[in-house]
Amino acid sequence: MSFYMAESVVLYFYVKLVRKESFSNIGFRESGKWRRFCILGFVLAIFHNAVGLAFSIFILGLKYGFYLPLYIYIPVYFAAYLLISVSEEGIFRGCILGGLLNRYGVKSSIILSSLLFGLYHLGYPFLLDWPSGTITIITHIFYSFTVGLFLGYLYIKAGRNLLGPVSYHFSQMFFNIPYLWMGATLGAQPQSLTSQMLLQLISTLLHIALNTIQILIVKIFA
């Protein structure tokens, strides 16, 4: 939490002191079809989580048990995930992507900002755990890159409005049932390292495919 609080402070001072702008200028504003994109972000996040949960239970064989009681989870994680979604969307879509769009084309700007978003999710300690940890973090970076592509596209389709991306980002974390019901056990999942790594790769590819589908849905309905 301390990291994301610091991240939010950096965002605040960057916008106010360096860019000398209001937060509405980078996308935090109630304008255009912002309600429509907030609803779309929420629905797509629930869709993504439902498919991912079904896959983890029925294909990977994971079983979930309560990790925290709901009366603790709801207020704590609501505040935490709201802070994360606002700070990350403000930085990567509002400041970085918004700044790139002022200099480069739409496709180049989305790809470059998404690469930075993927590298931002690099967990260095995992690289020391070869091969499983290294493969895990590489797949996670690539998955985060595709998340950046979707959120960047949603940001642009919303008229550079951040409320839609924030709605998706927050909902995707807060309503992610495996995060809500921590303490997953392997169940019938194969125990060999190779099998587990293969299933992890398949799971990552599923989420990447879902991000691609979400881009197509936004393109059609937004």
Query: Which is more confident, 32 or 43?
Result: 43
Task: Check pLDDT > 80 for residue 1.
Answer: no
Q: Residue 185 pairs with which residues in a beta bridge?
A: 63
Task: Return the higher-pLDDT residue of 20 and 66.
Answer: 20
Contact between 93 and 155 under an 8 Å Cβ cutoff? The reply is: yes
**What 3-state DSSP class applies to 63?**
strand
pLDDT of residue 44: 97
Q: Half-sphere exposure of 45 toward its Cβ, with a 13 Å CA cutoff?
A: 23
Task: Label residue 189 by pLDDT band (50, 70, 90).
Answer: very low
Distance CA 109, CA 116 (A): 11
Which one-letter amino acid corresponds to residue 146? T
Q: Residue 117 in contact with residue 147, Cβ under 8 Å?
A: yes
Q: What is the structure's pLDDT at 191?
A: 56
Q: What is the mean pLDDT of residues 94-109?
A: 96
Label residue 180 by pLDDT band (50, 70, 90): low
pLDDT at residue number 146: 96
Mean pLDDT of 166-187: 75
95-104, 157-166, 177-186: segment of lowest average pLDDT: 177-186
Is the preceding peptide bond at 125 cis, omega within 30 degrees of 0? no
Rounded average pLDDT over 1-14: 91
pTM (two decimals): 0.91
Query: Are the CB atoms for 45 and 168 separated by under 8 Å?
Result: yes
Residues 27 and 98: their CA atoms lie apart, in Å, by: 9
